[in-house]
């Protein structure tokens, strides 16, 4: 390896952010730009009786007002869903339309009914308040299990019992039932994996700009995948000519999944811009973000895990009700199914598994992928069950895990591990991560301290050993599972005549540091200085195509596409070098930025070859000029990072307040290009996973009102809520991509939540409170109540 | 001394006109007036007591209304004498329609002073004028609010081409904002928050807006060295104070130690919270040059970061503390 890979190179993108020169969508002001404000439903479920826009239209500075009626004869049905899951009986899932503006019946708090466009954002907001909507309020339902009962208020009239689909994966239920019944011990847990709100710090924004002269549309949007938005916008929503549409995602202030999806506002600003002939900007405020950004999680689950007398897992049975919200967001159907059910093997040799999922509409904001997407739900389930089983069987939770781990396999000498739930793991070596984490925490000392404690406090330790599927995904595989898109990635490596290199990647960076990590890969592989490499992303006009960034896929898939293009550049470069050196291309070595004839000191530098490619006077016969290659990389498999997380908590017996004292994470994300950036990804992931355990959770009342829809009410972790993290890693390379990388973006979130909850349960048991569950977020009130209700 | 300005009032032009032409009302709303008497058509005898900085005086003389064009415009001629000097002024006043029930009143004129007033009072005169103007319009607003007007027709009824205004508070102010050492003379709405003015009017977009409850800290700037959430301060409140935004941190291309710290310790990912985080950190380091981890975490608890888990931000602040 060269000078850069494996080193904590400081980020090249930092300077613009540190000097206030980042450019987020709301920072852009176009000539003649107008501002949009959206009139949203204050009710979760209501018939719209009338909309009077006359006062708003008359207001000074208002340019236009549109309502759902304006789309009535347009043929524009709304935004589509990108993943199809079928009912168990083979029927296609229920796929109700998601209109850009609702004309007849609103289905969740914040549903859009009108858009007001004005000369300033203040005027637009003031005028939006003049739009007079008369509603007939109807009963609503917010809980997925209640929504699926006969007689519950219907979200969509043609969707009986609000069920979008039911779905099953794994071994036959009869086999699993039999195995559970035959088990020595069965651990049963009913729990809620509560709804959380992603809350990227930059609220979503979009600018639509239609230029009639060239019949050209430009959309600026805070998205994780501009090309995907363009495809959906053109082909499924507005029926626009794709070659006339440019989508730009400039700097994006965090995504965490919530900016993957194609939102109605993106189509609205483009459509409105064409109507009024001027650019239209919409910027969400935080209150709007709380009720319109897709939410995450929201599963209600019952699970049974069987064990034999030795503690070996014999079977796992899972029934989940997954809340989809009022509409199907872009990837919503995939989350509780192929990103959740398929991960229920975990790190364990469980011989039979059955998972049964009922996906349900409710009168709430749509639920879709949020950092981890399905995998946190699977991990939470497995890791809660294992720790609870250990307590119930009076076994050591670490020992119980070692007993059940799948033995090591590298995916090269040994085959990948075939699970009971459709996936084949690529490579794994699970003992070392837990052993390392136990060493770091000082496990033996902890237990001694725990039993000796006598200060009005309880302390507890919680474990989580997780696996996840990243590098999403082999197109043919996901296509067979219902994806309506391929999930490859593209990259173009353009060598300029002077030997400088521009790389155009379809991955999108919104904090991940691609401009640095990708440049490290390019500089090392090409043997050139890092400063000679520029990474370009986020603009459909410069980047040929891209599937974007989510599912911890950027380096594993996008990075692999870059490597493919580099290989092509070097292969052609070798032909030119061979010609100039009067040697055979096979006799050349490439290293340190030059080609050398083997065994000689005859060499030619990369820059000389690139110049020759563009000034081809003395040039190989029949070879095209130029040095510029594109590649598309479709992965052979998912990648499977894994790790062990340990939390130590202290509970104040008099108040129930939980203090997270230590958090240890040992993650294996395959090869690491930039350790500093990978560590940063882990830190951020941990904070979000810990946030779900201790602080965060959307609360809807029975009328479908989000009663904690602001930062005053929704508790996100702050600096003084968290400890410094103690992290380390092991390295098990991915056997099927050229860099051997697995992905690090979601690991922290996936592993951490159950570790914290398990630690609280462990602390409670150590104090004699043998509760099975404390609902997340584990507020002081809930923990205190748990100590009162069970004084065993 | 120039007198110039524009205000929006919640009344029709006819209604405002009727108030301004009524001597009783005019005496009530004009600051300092102790007597106002109509002596002939459009000519008043006026006595006013006014304290200006170090000098105080009782003024007597005439007020005249000229060039009346009901209900659109008139000129006010002031000719006042006192022991401390004389004031002569001519101000053109114009009424315009803003919307159905809103009108603008603009004034434009010149005042000349003589005597002690000119020598001792001149340096504060512009402040006095703006203060008196504010008092005058505040009183006029009160008068409008408490008056049952006879003429209830809206501006729209007198001029059907007029649109209804949605704008509830379009009163504007000419202010000077000192940002990163540079003075900007701008006109802002009364209700404009500093964050919006910095971003939208001055186009310094490094200051971000992440919430609407002053909870997230993305908009934090330094005002006279203190970290302030600029989304919770009106722009007019910041007049004359020294404001530093992220764009003003580097000097001569050299990064501030806190910028270096964030880069060296990987204290930022998406960069959205970063400007606010750095401002809050600088405030902390001014108060406490060597904070420990828990002091740093406590100081930063008003700033959200969703990317870093705060781990490396703590290190970034420690790095800066070493360098500062």
Structure token digits, residue B65: 């209304």
User: B269, A254: Cβ pair inside 8 Å?
Assistant: yes
**Environment class of residue A263 by beta-carbon count within 10 Å: exposed (0-12), middle (13-18) or buried (19+)?**
buried
d(C-alpha A447, C-alpha A469), whole Å: 33
pLDDT tens digits for range A93-142? 999 999 999 999 999 999 999 999 999 999 999 999 999 999 999 999 99
pLDDT tens digits for range A164-195? 999 999 999 999 999 999 999 999 999 999 99
pLDDT at residue B163, as a whole number: 53
CATH code for position B184: 3.10.20.30
pLDDT at residue A722, as a whole number: 98
Mean of the per-residue pLDDT values of chain A:
97
Among A21, A203, A725, whose Cβ lies nearest the Cβ of B311? A725
pLDDT at residue B52, as a whole number: 67
DSSP state of B112: E
Consecutive sets of 10 residues in chain B, 324 residues long: mean pLDDT of each? 82 87 84 83 85 73 88 88 82 83 85 70 68 83 82 67 53 94 95 96 97 95 97 95 97 94 98 98 98 98 98 98 95
User: A286, B212: Cβ pair inside 8 Å?
Assistant: yes
Indicate if B179 and B312 belong to the same structural domain.
yes
User: A286, B270: Cβ pair inside 8 Å?
Assistant: no
DSSP state of A556: I
Indicate if B135 and B38 belong to the same structural domain.
yes
Indicate if B78 and B33 belong to the same structural domain.
yes
d(C-alpha A712, C-alpha A180), whole Å: 46
Chain B closest-CA separation from residue A293 CA (Å) = 14
pLDDT at residue B47, as a whole number: 87
User: B212, A287: Cβ pair inside 8 Å?
Assistant: yes
Return all residues near A633 (Cβ < 8 A) that are at least 6 apart: A488, A489, A490, A491, A557, A558, A560, A561, A564
Chain A closest-CA separation from residue B132 CA (Å) = 29
Query: What burial letters (b/e) apply to A502-538, b meaning 16+ CB within 10 Å?
Result: bbbbbbbbbbbbbbbbbbbbbbbbbbbebebbbbebb
- Band of residue A792 on the pLDDT scale cut at 50, 70, 90: very low
User: B311, A712: Cβ pair inside 8 Å?
Assistant: no
Q: Where are the alpha helices (DSSP H) in A277-370?
A: 286-292
Asked if B208 contacts B276 with a C-beta cutoff of 8 angstroms, the reply is yes
Asked if B75 contacts B110 with a C-beta cutoff of 8 angstroms, the reply is no
Q: Is there a domain that residue B155 lies in?
A: no
The percent helix, strand, coil of chain A (3-state, each to 5) is 30, 25, 45
d(C-alpha A9, C-alpha A11), whole Å: 6
User: B166, A512: Cβ pair inside 8 Å?
Assistant: no
Test the A interface: residue of B195, B310, B314 with most A CBs within 10 Å: B310
Indicate if B103 and B231 belong to the same structural domain.
no
Indicate if B22 and B133 belong to the same structural domain.
yes
CB atoms inside a 10 Å sphere around CB A621: 5
Asked if A683 contacts A749 with a C-beta cutoff of 8 angstroms, the reply is no
Chain B residue numbers with beta carbons less than 8 Å from the beta carbon of A53 are none
Chain A residue numbers with beta carbons less than 8 Å from the beta carbon of B274 are 17-18
User: B210, A22: Cβ pair inside 8 Å?
Assistant: no
pLDDT at residue B320, as a whole number: 98
- Band of residue A791 on the pLDDT scale cut at 50, 70, 90: low
Structure token digits, residue A80: 């589509």
Chain B residue numbers with beta carbons less than 8 Å from the beta carbon of A287 are 212
User: B270, A252: Cβ pair inside 8 Å?
Assistant: yes
Among A60, A251, A717, whose Cβ lies nearest the Cβ of B163? A60
Chain A residue numbers with beta carbons less than 8 Å from the beta carbon of B218 are 201
Chain B residue numbers with beta carbons less than 8 Å from the beta carbon of A19 are 206, 246-247, 249-250, 255, 259
d(C-alpha A454, C-alpha A720), whole Å: 26
DSSP state of A585: G
**Environment class of residue B176 by beta-carbon count within 10 Å: exposed (0-12), middle (13-18) or buried (19+)?**
exposed
Task: Report residue A636 CA to chain centroid gap.
Answer: 21
Indicate if B131 and B42 belong to the same structural domain.
yes
Chain A residue numbers with beta carbons less than 8 Å from the beta carbon of B251 are none
Nearest Cα residue to A64 out of A103, A118, A113: A118
Domain boundary among B149, B164, B183: B149
Among A17, A285, A720, whose Cβ lies nearest the Cβ of B268? A17
- Size of the A and B interface in Cβ pairs below 8 Å: 214
User: A200, B306: Cβ pair inside 8 Å?
Assistant: yes
Lowest mean pLDDT across A525-539, A661-675, B93-107, B295-309: B93-107
- Quick check: helix, strand or coil at residue A381? helix
- Quick check: helix, strand or coil at residue B196? helix
Chain B closest-CA separation from residue A669 CA (Å) = 18
Domain extent, residue B297, equals 173-323
Asked if A276 contacts A117 with a C-beta cutoff of 8 angstroms, the reply is yes
Enumerate the β-bridge partners of residue B193. Answer: B234
Q: Is there a domain that residue B260 lies in?
A: yes
- Quick check: helix, strand or coil at residue A593? coil
pLDDT tens digits for range A61-90? 999 999 999 988 888 989 999 999 999 999
Return all residues near A302 (Cβ < 8 A) that are at least 6 apart: A188, A189, A190, A318, A319
Asked if A93 contacts A337 with a C-beta cutoff of 8 angstroms, the reply is no
pTM, rounded to two decimals: 0.86
pLDDT at residue A284, as a whole number: 98
Q: Where are the domains of chain A?
A: 15-138+201-254+259-292, 296-472+637-789, 488-633
User: A720, B298: Cβ pair inside 8 Å?
Assistant: yes
Indicate if B246 and B308 belong to the same structural domain.
yes
Give the phi and the psi of residue A294 in degrees, each rounded to 5. Answer: -60, 135
CATH code for position B8: 3.30.530.20
Nearest Cα residue to A102 out of A156, A24, A181: A156
User: A18, B263: Cβ pair inside 8 Å?
Assistant: yes
Give the phi and the psi of residue A449 in degrees, each rounded to 5. Answer: -65, -40
Rg (CA), chain B: 26
pLDDT tens digits for range A284-330? 999 999 999 999 999 999 999 999 999 999 999 999 999 999 999 99
Chain B residue numbers with beta carbons less than 8 Å from the beta carbon of A129 are 166
Among A676, A710, A719, whose Cβ lies nearest the Cβ of B300? A719
Query: Which sign, positive or negative, has the C-alpha torsion A550, A553, A555, A558?
Result: negative
d(C-alpha A431, C-alpha A454), whole Å: 34
Give the phi and the psi of residue A738 in degrees, each rounded to 5. Answer: -65, -25
Nearest Cα residue to A529 out of A595, A606, A613: A606
Indicate if B193 and B309 belong to the same structural domain.
yes
- Quick check: helix, strand or coil at residue B132? helix
pLDDT at residue A402, as a whole number: 98
Q: Is there a domain that residue B166 lies in?
A: no
Chain B residue numbers with beta carbons less than 8 Å from the beta carbon of A26 are 205, 209
User: A716, B249: Cβ pair inside 8 Å?
Assistant: no
Among B278, B298, B309, whose Cβ lies nearest the Cβ of A686? B309
Q: Where are the alpha helices (DSSP H) in B121-190?
A: 122-146, 155-158
Chain A residue numbers with beta carbons less than 8 Å from the beta carbon of B304 are 201, 711, 716, 718
User: B271, A251: Cβ pair inside 8 Å?
Assistant: yes
The percent helix, strand, coil of chain B (3-state, each to 5) is 35, 35, 35
Among B204, B263, B272, whose Cβ lies nearest the Cβ of A201? B272
Chain B residue numbers with beta carbons less than 8 Å from the beta carbon of A123 are 166-167
Chain A residue numbers with beta carbons less than 8 Å from the beta carbon of B266 are 8, 10-11, 676-677, 679-680
How large is the ipTM?
A: 0.97
d(C-alpha A292, C-alpha A401), whole Å: 40
Q: What is the CATH number of domain A15-138+201-254+259-292?
A: 3.90.1170.50
Structure token digits, residue A530: 């890092």
Q: Do domains A296-472+637-789 and A488-633 have the same CATH topology?
A: yes
**Number of folded domains in chain B?**
2
Asked if B279 contacts B222 with a C-beta cutoff of 8 angstroms, the reply is yes
CA distances (Å), origin A330, targets A219, A221, A299, A478, A766: 18, 16, 18, 15, 45
Q: Is there a domain that residue B165 lies in?
A: no
Task: Report residue A270 CA to chain centroid gap.
Answer: 26
Q: Is there a domain that residue B154 lies in?
A: no
User: B306, A17: Cβ pair inside 8 Å?
Assistant: no
User: A684, B309: Cβ pair inside 8 Å?
Assistant: yes
pLDDT tens digits for range A396-443? 999 999 999 999 999 999 999 999 999 999 999 999 999 999 999 999
d(C-alpha A434, C-alpha B101), whole Å: 73
Please state at what angle helix B311-323 crosses helix A675-694, rounded to 10 degrees. 120
User: A253, B272: Cβ pair inside 8 Å?
Assistant: yes
Asked if A227 contacts A339 with a C-beta cutoff of 8 angstroms, the reply is no
Please state at what angle helix A443-452 crosses helix A431-441, rounded to 10 degrees. 50
d(C-alpha A495, C-alpha B176), whole Å: 50
So what CATH class is A296-472+637-789? Answer: alpha beta
The nearest alpha carbon in chain A to B192 belongs to A122
Asked if A365 contacts A294 with a C-beta cutoff of 8 angstroms, the reply is yes
Enumerate the β-bridge partners of residue A645. Answer: A464, A665
Indicate if B29 and B139 belong to the same structural domain.
yes
**Environment class of residue A434 by beta-carbon count within 10 Å: exposed (0-12), middle (13-18) or buried (19+)?**
buried
Q: How many CA atoms lie within 13 A of A773 on its CB side?
A: 18
Chain A residue numbers with beta carbons less than 8 Å from the beta carbon of B210 are 201-203, 253, 286
CA distances (Å), origin B258, targets A20, A22, A65, B254: 13, 17, 46, 11
Chain A closest-CA separation from residue B14 CA (Å) = 20
Query: Which sign, positive or negative, has the C-alpha torsion B296, B299, B301, B304?
Result: negative
d(C-alpha A369, C-alpha B294), whole Å: 34
Fold of A488-633: Aldehyde Oxidoreductase; domain 4 (3.30.365)
The nearest alpha carbon in chain A to B245 belongs to A20
Chain B closest-CA separation from residue A510 CA (Å) = 5
d(C-alpha B226, C-alpha B241), whole Å: 11
Indicate if B311 and B190 belong to the same structural domain.
yes
User: B278, A200: Cβ pair inside 8 Å?
Assistant: no
CB atoms inside a 10 Å sphere around CB A150: 6
Structure token digits, residue A41: 């439903």
Residue A519 in this model has a pLDDT that exceeds 50: yes
Average pLDDT for residues A328-337, to the nearest whole number? 97
Chain A residue numbers with beta carbons less than 8 Å from the beta carbon of B300 are 718-720
Test the A interface: residue of B293, B311, B313 with most A CBs within 10 Å: B311
The nearest alpha carbon in chain B to A674 belongs to B266
**B91 or A790, which is more confident:** B91
pLDDT at residue B153, as a whole number: 73
Indicate if B199 and B300 belong to the same structural domain.
yes
Q: Is there a domain that residue B65 lies in?
A: yes
């Amino acid at each position: 390896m060269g000078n850069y890979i494996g080193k904590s190179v400081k980020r090249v993108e930092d300077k613009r952010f540190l000097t206030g020169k980042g450019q987020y969508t709301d920072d852009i002001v176009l000539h003649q730009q107008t501002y949009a404000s959206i009139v949203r439903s204050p009710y979760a479920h209501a018939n719209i009786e009338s909309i009077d826009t006359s006062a708003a239209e008359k207001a000074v500075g208002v340019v236009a007002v549109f309502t759902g009626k304006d789309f009535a004869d347009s043929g524009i049905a709304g935004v589509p869903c990108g993943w199809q899951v079928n009912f168990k009986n083979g029927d296609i899932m229920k796929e109700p339309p998601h209109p850009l503006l609702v004309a007849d019946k609103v289905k969740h708090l914040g549903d859009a009914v009108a858009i007001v466009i004005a000369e300033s954002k203040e005027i637009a907001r003031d005028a939006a308040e003049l739009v007079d909507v008369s509603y007939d309020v109807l009963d609503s339902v917010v809980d997925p299990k209640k929504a699926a009962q006969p007689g519950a208020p219907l979200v969509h009239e043609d969707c009986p019992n609000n069920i979008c689909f039911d779905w099953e994966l794994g071994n036959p239920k009869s086999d699993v039932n039999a195995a559970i019944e035959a088990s020595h011990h069965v651990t049963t847990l009913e729990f809620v994996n509560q709804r959380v709100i992603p809350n990227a710090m930059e609220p979503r924004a979009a600018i639509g700009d239609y230029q009639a002269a060239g019949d050209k549309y430009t959309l600026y949007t805070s998205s994780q995948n501009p090309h995907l938005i363009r495809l959906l916008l053109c082909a499924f929503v507005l029926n626009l000519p794709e070659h006339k549409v440019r989508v730009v995602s400039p700097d994006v202030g965090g995504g965490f999944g919530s900016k993957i999806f194609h939102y109605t506002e993106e189509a609205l600003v483009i459509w409105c811009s064409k109507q009024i002939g001027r650019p239209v900007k919409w910027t969400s405020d935080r209150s709007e973000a709380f009720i319109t950004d897709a939410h995450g999680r929201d599963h209600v689950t019952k699970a049974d895990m069987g064990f034999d007398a030795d503690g070996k897992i014999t079977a796992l049975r899972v029934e989940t009700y997954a809340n989809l919200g009022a509409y199907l967001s872009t990837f919503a159907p995939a989350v509780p199914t192929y990103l959740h059910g398929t991960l229920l093997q975990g790190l364990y040799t469980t011989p039979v598994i059955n998972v049964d999922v009922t996906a349900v509409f409710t009168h709430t904001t749509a639920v879709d992928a949020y950092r981890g997407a399905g995998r946190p739900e699977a991990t939470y389930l497995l890791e809660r069950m294992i720790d609870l089983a250990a307590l119930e069987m009076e076994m050591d939770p670490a020992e119980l895990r070692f007993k059940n781990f799948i033995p090591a396999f590298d995916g090269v000498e040994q085959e990948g591990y075939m699970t009971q739930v459709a996936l084949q793991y690529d490579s794994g070596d699970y003992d070392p991560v837990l052993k390392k984490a136990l060493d770091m925490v000082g496990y033996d000392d902890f237990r001694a301290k725990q039993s000796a404690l006598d200060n009005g406090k309880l302390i507890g330790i919680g474990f989580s050993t997780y696996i996840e599927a990243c590098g999403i995904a082999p197109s043919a595989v996901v296509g067979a599972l219902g994806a309506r898109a391929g999930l490859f990635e593209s990259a173009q490596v353009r060598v300029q005549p002077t030997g400088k290199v521009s790389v155009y990647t379809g991955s999108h960076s919104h904090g991940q540091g691609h401009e640095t990590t990708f440049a490290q890969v390019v500089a090392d592989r090409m043997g050139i200085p890092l400063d000679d490499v520029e990474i370009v992303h986020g603009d459909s006009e410069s980047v040929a195509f891209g599937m974007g960034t989510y599912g911890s896929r950027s380096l594993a898939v996008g990075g692999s596409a870059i490597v493919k293009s580099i290989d092509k550049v070097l292969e052609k470069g070798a032909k030119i070098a061979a010609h100039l050196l009067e040697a055979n291309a096979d006799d050349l070595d490439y290293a340190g930025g030059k080609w050398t004839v083997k065994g000689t000191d005859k060499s030619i530098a990369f820059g000389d070859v690139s110049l020759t490619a563009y000034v081809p006077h003395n040039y190989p016969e029949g070879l095209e000029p130029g040095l510029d290659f594109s590649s598309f990389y479709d992965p052979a498999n998912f990648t499977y990072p894994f790790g062990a997380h340990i939390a130590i908590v202290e509970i104040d017996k008099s108040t129930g307040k939980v203090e997270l004292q230590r958090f240890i994470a040992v993650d294996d994300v395959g090869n690491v290009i930039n350790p500093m950036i990978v560590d940063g990804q882990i830190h951020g992931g941990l904070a979000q996973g810990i946030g779900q355990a201790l602080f965060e959770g959307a609360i809807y009342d029975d009328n479908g009102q989000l009663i904690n829809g602001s930062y005053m009410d929704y508790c996100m972790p702050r600096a003084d809520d968290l400890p410094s993290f103690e992290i380390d890693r092991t390295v098990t390379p991915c056997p099927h991509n050229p860099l051997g990388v697995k992905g690090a973006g979601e690991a922290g979130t996936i592993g951490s939540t159950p570790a914290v909850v398990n630690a609280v349960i462990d602390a409670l048991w150590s104090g004699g409170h043998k509760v099975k569950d404390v609902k997340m977020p584990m507020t002081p009130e809930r923990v205190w109540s748990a100590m009162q209700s069970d004084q065993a | 001394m120039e007198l110039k300005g524009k205000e929006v009032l919640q009344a029709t032009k006819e209604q405002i006109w009727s108030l301004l032409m009524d001597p009783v009302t005019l005496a009530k709303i004009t600051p300092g007036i102790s007597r106002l008497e109509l002596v002939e058509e459009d000519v008043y005898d006026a006595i006013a007591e006014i304290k200006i900085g170090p000098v105080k005086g009782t003024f007597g003389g005439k007020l005249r209304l000229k060039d009346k064009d009901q209900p659109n415009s008139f000129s006010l001629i002031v000719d006042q004498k006192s022991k401390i000097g004389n004031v002569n002024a001519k101000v053109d006043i114009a009424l315009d329609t803003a919307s159905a029930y809103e009108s603008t009143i603009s004034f434009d004129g010149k005042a000349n002073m003589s005597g002690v007033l000119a020598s001792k009072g001149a340096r504060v005169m512009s402040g006095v004028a703006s203060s008196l103007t504010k008092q005058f319009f505040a009183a006029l607003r009160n008068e409008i609010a408490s008056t049952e007007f006879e003429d209830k027709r809206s501006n729209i009824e007198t001029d059907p081409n007029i649109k209804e205004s949605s704008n509830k508070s379009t009163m504007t102010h000419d202010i000077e904002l000192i940002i990163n050492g540079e003075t900007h003379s701008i006109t802002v709405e009364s209700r404009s928050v500093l964050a919006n003015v910095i971003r939208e009017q001055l186009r310094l977009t490094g200051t971000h807006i992440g919430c609407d409850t002053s909870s997230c800290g993305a908009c934090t700037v330094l005002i006279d060295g203190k970290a302030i959430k600029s989304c919770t301060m009106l722009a007019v409140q910041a007049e004359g104070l020294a404001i530093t935004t992220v764009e003003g941190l580097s000097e001569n291309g050299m990064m501030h130690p806190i910028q270096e710290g964030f880069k060296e310790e990987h204290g930022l990912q998406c960069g959205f919270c970063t400007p606010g985080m750095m401002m809050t950190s600088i405030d902390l380091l001014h108060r406490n040059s060597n904070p420990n981890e828990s002091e740093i975490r406590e100081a930063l608890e008003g700033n959200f970061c969703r990317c870093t888990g705060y781990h490396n931000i703590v290190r970034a602040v420690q790095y800066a503390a070493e360098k500062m």
